[in-house]
């Protein structure tokens, strides 16, 4: 069997290639003849104008060196997807450190780097703004504030038995994908451009190349093979590097490749949005949450990027997994002179979950009611209406919470923690549970659509083309399973092709945890069409009714019994009879709508529910800490591939713990990134994750709103990592009963400051 079409047992050979290091990413592809390497020249400071670029020394280095600036762009010098505020190459002014001011090309990468270092960039610096609240005070907002409200918040606070308020800081987060930003562009006959890009959004790249080169979309083909990770960092921001490569290819007529070094990638690209937030929460005497109010100051960076959509999800998830009587939440998109912040797994949801959990921790401290009592009492229930108007459907927050508490033996666990703390003078333990209700759909309604193209070849092999980009999350494996199941095939006959705008047009990004939902359903519809044609043909050939026939394990059945025809014969006979063996499938998520004018609607197809518990231990002398154990109960629907889903839960949880406890993104007041190496930016590693992790899938009816009863998996489990912050905080407060503080990540330095009486 050809290994390109999978193994007989159904395992994808790419998993072995990944483990052995044989997978080829953009920078591993065979270099075409005449290839030029591109190196960007970054801006010298965070903000300035009167930009001047002197490339004479670089051009004198070698006759093969080429240098391009904004003046060389044949089309529009603009790649902003929401606002026209992001030039491909800075022209006249610059707004963040790392903004591209020139592009250097040379046939050798080392030569290109030497030449880039010789380009002289000058101009007049202007004072930068790096803090979101300062930008807000100056009135520098991308859009007017956005507010969602429900109920009478003022009355809730008037009637409250307990109130708490506070300030919450949540830092950014670096994607640290395995493969840095990269693209390879080729100029082809007829003024066409072909780009192989490490992107989650091929159509966004296609749009950017079309716009900057001044050519039609149809003249641009974008391919995305298997990415070395994305996590949202290649949804919008891959466009810059692909467009630069395409610009070089169009102007020189030669292939051009750009591949950032790790430190360049860290310095020049955006990360998860930092937020600074204020909250107020009102409780009744029994712990019922009467009202919640929050203001979110989003540090959007220098350009719009995807900030509006990210802030929108923050507002949607402002109340987390809780039922709140009255809500008023407002978001501000604050423009600063930092690289434009962008999509990151969770897409604004984690920032919201952290604020509501902080509010509950503060309310617990103010009222004396245990946090878990407040949490359980206020969990969403079936039929509850969320503050933006959507009704909770198949709501399982109470189910997952109770299963987790029972599995963990939580009352006994809490008693054991208190006993441990009483018996240990220099070590303290703490625990926290975070419940999750995470909405699944793009919050921009038109993006909830997908197409797929499926071909059945005359030997019975099948190729599926979809808009889904494989970046390590297993979406190709899931689509393969969908195609096998839909056509009734045994493993080994199906392959999923690399994503290409030439095969599937008008693609939506592989993001928002929708890759399998949208593209799997589109592939299913294409397969159903092909299968219907085959069964109609077979019915005529066998003198049967089509409804009597079926395909299972690559065998044609009649009334559940073999007909003597297998899949290959069925395909061969149908082709001989001129039956079309290709089909295009299309899917648009039904039932979702939202009206921003009144801030009401049902923007999500469904919610994913779950609960995560973390137990942590703090060394009071060193202020160091470790995770003792973790337990998760997750509502995953009828999984398309349980092993893939488990990997996603584990990975997302690790990433959430990293954001909560380790990954401190620091910028200087001048806008310079201080944590610009993997020696200064700390990530979860094997030793950090060395603790027992129990994951239990909720055994419940399948999800009627997604392919084969499944549920999205990518983003929701990241929220469980937030429990790590509060578990450490719980341990710290067992040693010092000061008011809780909410400054994420909980670094060792912040823990030490708290223990010694300061406030981070």
Judge whether 713 and 697 are in contact, CB under 8 Å. no
The per-residue pLDDT for 14 is 65
Report the C-alpha gap between 319 and 315 in whole angstroms. Answer: 8
Q: In which residue ranges of the chain is CATH 3.30.365.10 found?
A: 31-127+175-268, 275-443+596-755, 449-588
Instruction: Report residues of the chain scoring pLDDT below 50.
Output: 1-10
Report the C-alpha gap between 26 and 230 in whole angstroms. Answer: 14
Cα angle 716, 717, 718 (rounded to 5 degrees) comes to 90
Q: What percent of the chain has pLDDT over 70?
A: 98
The Cβ-side half-sphere exposure at 736, using a 13 Å CA radius, reads: 22
CB count within 10 Å of CB 159 equals 14
φ/ψ of 657, rounded to 5, equals -65, -40
Report the C-alpha gap between 509 and 504 in whole angstroms. Answer: 12
Query: Which is the catalytic residue, given 14, 86, 484, 715?
Result: 715
Cis amide linkage into residue 745, ω under 30° from 0: yes
Per CATH, the number for 275-443+596-755 is: 3.30.365.10
Mention the CATH class of domain 449-588. alpha beta
pTM above 0.75, yes or no: yes
C-alpha distances in Å from residue 733, one per residue of 278, 500, 727, 728, 740:
22, 53, 10, 9, 7
Judge whether 79 and 131 are in contact, CB under 8 Å. no
Report the C-alpha gap between 562 and 549 in whole angstroms. Answer: 10
Residue 454: both structure tokens together:
């499926």
Report the C-alpha gap between 56 and 107 in whole angstroms. Answer: 18
Closest Cα partner for 221 from 188, 193, 253? 193
Per CATH, the number for 31-127+175-268 is: 3.30.365.10
Report the C-alpha gap between 402 and 315 in whole angstroms. Answer: 27
Is 372 labeled as catalytic in the residue annotation? no
């Amino acid at each position: 069997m050809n290994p390109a079409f999978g193994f007989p047992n159904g395992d994808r050979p790419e998993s072995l290639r990944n483990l052995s290091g044989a997978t080829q990413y953009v920078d591993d592809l065979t270099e075409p003849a005449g290839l030029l390497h591109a190196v960007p020249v970054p801006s010298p400071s965070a903000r300035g104008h009167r930009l001047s670029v002197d490339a004479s020394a670089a051009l004198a280095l070698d006759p093969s060196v080429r240098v391009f600036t904004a003046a060389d762009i044949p089309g529009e010098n603009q790649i902003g997807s929401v606002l026209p505020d992001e030039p491909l190459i800075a022209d006249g002014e610059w707004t963040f450190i790392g903004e591209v001011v020139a592009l250097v090309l040379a046939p050798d990468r080392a030569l290109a780097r030497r030449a880039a270092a010789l380009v002289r960039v000058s101009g007049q610096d202007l004072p930068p703004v790096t803090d979101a609240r300062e930008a807000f005070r100056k009135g520098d907002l991308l859009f007017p504030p956005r507010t969602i409200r429900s109920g009478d918040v003022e009355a809730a606070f008037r009637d409250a038995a307990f109130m708490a308020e506070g300030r919450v800081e949540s830092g950014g987060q670096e994607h640290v994908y395995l493969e840095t930003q990269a693209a390879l562009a080729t100029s082809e006959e007829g003024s066409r451009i072909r780009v192989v890009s490490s992107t989650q959004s091929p159509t966004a790249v296609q749009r950017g190349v079309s716009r900057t080169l001044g050519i039609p979309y149809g003249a641009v083909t974008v391919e995305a093979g298997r990415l070395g990770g994305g996590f949202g960092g290649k949804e919008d921001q891959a466009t810059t590097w692909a467009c630069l490569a395409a610009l070089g290819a169009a102007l020189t007529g030669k292939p051009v490749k750009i591949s950032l070094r790790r430190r360049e990638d860290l310095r020049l690209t955006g990360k998860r949005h930092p937020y600074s937030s204020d909250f107020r929460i009102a409780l009744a005497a029994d712990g019922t949450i009467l009202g919640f109010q929050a203001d979110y100051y989003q540090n959007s960076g220098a350009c719009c990027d995807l900030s509006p959509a990210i802030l929108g999800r923050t507002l949607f998830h402002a109340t987390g997994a809780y039922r709140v009587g009255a809500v008023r939440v407002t978001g501000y998109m604050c423009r600063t002179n930092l690289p434009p912040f962008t999509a990151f797994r969770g897409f604004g949801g984690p920032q919201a979950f952290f604020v509501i959990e902080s509010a509950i921790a503060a309310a617990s401290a103010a009222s004396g009611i245990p946090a878990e009592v407040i949490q359980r009492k206020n969990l969403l229930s079936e039929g509850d209406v969320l503050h933006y108007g959507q009704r909770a459907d198949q709501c399982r927050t109470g189910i997952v919470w109770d299963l987790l508490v029972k599995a963990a033996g939580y009352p006994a666990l809490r008693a054991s923690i208190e006993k441990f703390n009483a018996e240990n003078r220099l070590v303290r333990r703490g625990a926290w549970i975070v419940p999750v209700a995470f909405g699944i759909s793009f919050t921009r309604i038109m993006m909830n659509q997908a197409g797929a193209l499926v071909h059945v070849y005359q030997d019975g092999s099948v190729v599926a083309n979809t808009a889904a980009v494989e970046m390590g999350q297993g979406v190709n494996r899931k689509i393969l399973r969908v195609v096998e199941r839909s056509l009734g095939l045994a493993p080994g006959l199906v392959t999923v092709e690399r994503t290409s705008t030439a095969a599937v047009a008008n693609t939506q990004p592989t993001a928002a945890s929708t890759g399998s939902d949208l593209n799997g359903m589109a592939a299913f519809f294409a397969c159903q069409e092909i299968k219907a044609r085959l069964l109609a043909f077979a019915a005529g050939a066998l003198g049967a009714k089509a409804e009597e026939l079926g395909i299972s394990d690559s065998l044609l059945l009649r009334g559940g019994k073999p007909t003597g025809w297998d899949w290959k014969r069925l395909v061969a006979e149908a082709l001989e009879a001129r039956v079309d063996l290709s089909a295009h499938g299309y899917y648009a998520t039904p039932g979702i709508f939202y009206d921003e004018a009144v801030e009401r609607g049902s923007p999500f197809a469904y919610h994913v529910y779950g609960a995560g518990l973390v137990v942590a231990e703090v060394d009071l002398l060193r202020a160091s800490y470790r995770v003792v154990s973790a337990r998760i109960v997750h509502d995953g629907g009828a999984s398309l591939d349980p092993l893939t889903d488990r990997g996603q839960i584990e990975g997302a949880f690790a990433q959430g713990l990293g954001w909560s406890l380790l990954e401190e993104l620091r910028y200087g007041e001048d806008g310079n990134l201080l944590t610009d190496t993997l020696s200064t930016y700390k990530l979860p590693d094997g030793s950090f994750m060395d603790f027992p992790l129990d994951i239990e899938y909720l055994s419940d009816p399948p999800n009627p709103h997604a392919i084969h009863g499944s549920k999205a998996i990518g983003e929701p489990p990241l929220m469980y990592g937030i429990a790590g912050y509060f578990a450490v905080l719980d341990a710290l407060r067992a040693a010092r009963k000061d008011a809780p503080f909410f400054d994420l990540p909980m670094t060792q330095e912040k823990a030490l400051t708290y223990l010694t009486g300061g406030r981070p």
